[in-house]
């Protein structure tokens, strides 16, 4: 049975497949239905995001005794990992190397202690200085650029790699070519290699995973790298941050309205888009709930999985618009906090995210219902209807709340525009020339 795992599980499986870990600090998390099927049939075929089979899991065994308890999903499992073909997806793919390749290159540089320098965010001057001390004492440095799921910090993978390479070159007094750090005398002083290591929720387990990966790549010691703050960043990281984070007036932003059906989300979204288009200072796109359902998400149902997938699709498109400096206005119901958090994280990797909770009470939404949806939901004709037979999880992280039963649409739009102006997302008007 094929399985398309979430990014974190796919990255953990790749670490197993290439020999970067033997026994990960936490088990692989597999959907309960797949575990039951694997126990019956003997295995699970893992496919990457492109649908290419990359790993075969056999001898799948729940960490708990027996089959998964009812309602537990996903299920932690241990399994035998069979490598089928190289993984082709993921950030910085062309720069990655296997542990065996890196160990061979380190060995070619002679007998030196190897010190790993794991980096997942902008480098501080202190981190570079500590690495320089170890290099001066005769160590070869293994700069591990960690780009796994959950580790996205202030720099995306590409600028992070450039910043680390610049720091490594400064330590060696030379340049980095093809990931190899050569000193002024031409001798090898270390290697810069990106590795997708997913962040684990347990800090101790996460540290153990990073150390296991560093050891597999040839390091005998892992250097603690303090995070950099704005005043103590290495100059290469400062440069990359300034390139990656343009001023808010030109940075992309997603304005994400969420609320019950009939709350006024679409009306506010259209009003905001109209005002922004009339204003003319920024480019604007709209991803409205009903329109998206007819086009981007045609064929999806209204069960929990399909509703979450619908929001993920909206988030993907919104992030791409945001990446390229536009303003995108979204207006789905988006009832579940977890998938809203996924969308926020996806967008904030490339720009800004503004969450507007349209908090109009259920009774008012039901009174306004022109399509008779609430009535049919109460009669049981429409199953899993948000607010009636399916929950709406009110956001605790909303940047703005608007109750359209107490203020007009124009007032609501004014509040969103004021929020964008305070955030610097609307540049000052330029006088007519």
Q: What is the pLDDT of residue 186?
A: 47
- How far, in Å, are 81, 254, 375, 391 from residue 59 at the CA level? 9, 44, 50, 38
Burial class (CB in 10 A: 0-12, 13-18, 19+), 243: exposed
Place domain 93-244 in its CATH homologous superfamily.
HUPs (3.40.50.620)
Cα distance between residue 256 and residue 354, in whole Å: 6
Residue labelled with tokens 């030379």: 174
Q: How far apart are CA 412 and CA 58, in angstroms?
A: 56
pTM: 0.73
Main-chain dihedrals φ then ψ at residue 270, nearest 5 degrees = -65, -40
Which CA distances in Å does 128 have to 144, 155, 225, 235? Answer: 13, 17, 9, 11
Q: Where in the chain is the domain with CATH 3.40.50.620?
A: 93-244
Residue 59 region by backbone torsions, left for phi larger than 0, else alpha for psi between -120 and 50, else beta: left
User: Which residue intervals of the chain bear CATH 3.40.50.300?
Assistant: 253-422
Which residues of the chain, if any, have pLDDT below 50? 68, 186-187, 431-433
For Cα atoms 115, 119, 120, give the angle at the middle one, nearest 5 degrees: 155
Let me know: does 240 contact 344? Beta carbons within 8 Å: no
Note the pLDDT of residue 429: 67
Return the closest-CA partner of residue 131 out of 114, 146, 147, 111: 114
Describe the crossing of helices 157-172 and 125-136 by its angle, rounded to 10 degrees.
40
pLDDT of residue 71: 53
Q: 265: burial class by Cβ within 10 Å (0-12, 13-18, 19+)?
A: buried
Contact 263, 360 (CB under 8 A): yes
Q: Beta-carbon neighbour count of residue 412 at 10 Å?
A: 23
Q: Write the CATH number of the domain with boundaries 253-422.
A: 3.40.50.300
Strand segments (E) across 281-379: 284-288, 327-331, 352-358
Dihedral sign of CA atoms 402, 404, 405, 407 in order: positive
Alpha carbons within 13 angstroms on the beta-carbon side of residue 399 total 18
CA dihedral 74, 80, 85, 88 (to 10 degrees): 30
């Amino acid at each position: 049975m094929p399985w398309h795992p979430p990014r974190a599980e796919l990255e953990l499986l790749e670490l197993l497949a290439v020999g970067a870990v033997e026994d990960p600090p936490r088990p692989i998390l597999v959907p309960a239905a797949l575990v039951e099927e694997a126990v019956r049939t003997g295995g699970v075929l893992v496919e990457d995001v492109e649908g290419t089979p990359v790993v075969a899991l056999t001898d799948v065994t729940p960490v708990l005794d027996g089959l998964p308890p009812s309602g537990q999903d996903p299920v932690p499992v241990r399994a035998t990992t069979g490598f089928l073909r190289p993984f082709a997806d993921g950030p910085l793919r062309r720069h990655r190397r296997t542990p065996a390749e890196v160990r061979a290159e380190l060995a070619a540089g002679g007998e030196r202690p190897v010190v790993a320098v794991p980096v997942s965010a902008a480098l501080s001057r202190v981190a570079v200085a500590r690495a320089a001390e170890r290099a001066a004492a005769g160590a070869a440095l293994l700069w591990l650029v960690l780009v796994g799921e959950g580790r996205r910090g202030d720099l995306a993978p590409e600028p992070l790699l450039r910043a680390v390479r610049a720091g490594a070159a400064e330590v060696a007094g030379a340049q980095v070519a093809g990931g190899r750090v050569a000193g002024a005398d031409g001798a090898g002083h270390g290697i810069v290699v990106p590795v997708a290591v997913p962040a684990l929720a347990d800090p101790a387990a996460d540290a153990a995973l990073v150390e296991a990966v560093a050891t597999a790549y040839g390091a005998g010691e892992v250097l603690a790298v303090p995070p950099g703050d704005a005043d103590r960043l290495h100059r290469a990281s400062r440069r990359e941050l300034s390139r990656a984070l343009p001023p808010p007036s030109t940075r992309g932003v997603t304005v994400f309205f969420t609320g019950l059906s009939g709350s006024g989300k679409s009306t506010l979204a259209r009003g905001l888009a109209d005002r922004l288009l009339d204003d003319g200072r920024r480019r604007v796109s709209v991803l409205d709930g009903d329109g998206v359902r007819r086009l981007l998400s045609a064929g999806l149902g209204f069960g929990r999985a399909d509703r979450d997938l619908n929001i993920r699709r909206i988030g993907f498109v919104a992030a791409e618009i945001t990446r390229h400096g536009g303003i995108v206005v979204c207006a789905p119901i988006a009832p579940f906090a977890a998938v809203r958090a996924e969308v926020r994280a996806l967008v904030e990797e490339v720009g800004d995210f503004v969450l507007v909770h349209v908090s109009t009470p259920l009774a008012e939404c039901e009174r306004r219902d022109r399509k008779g949806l609430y009535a049919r939901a109460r009669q049981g004709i429409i199953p899993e209807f948000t607010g009636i037979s399916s929950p709406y999880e009110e956001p605790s992280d909303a940047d703005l709340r608007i109750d359209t039963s107490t203020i007009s649409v124009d007032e609501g739009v004014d509040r969103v525009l004021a929020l964008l102006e305070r955030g610097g997302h609307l540049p000052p008007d330029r006088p007519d020339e």
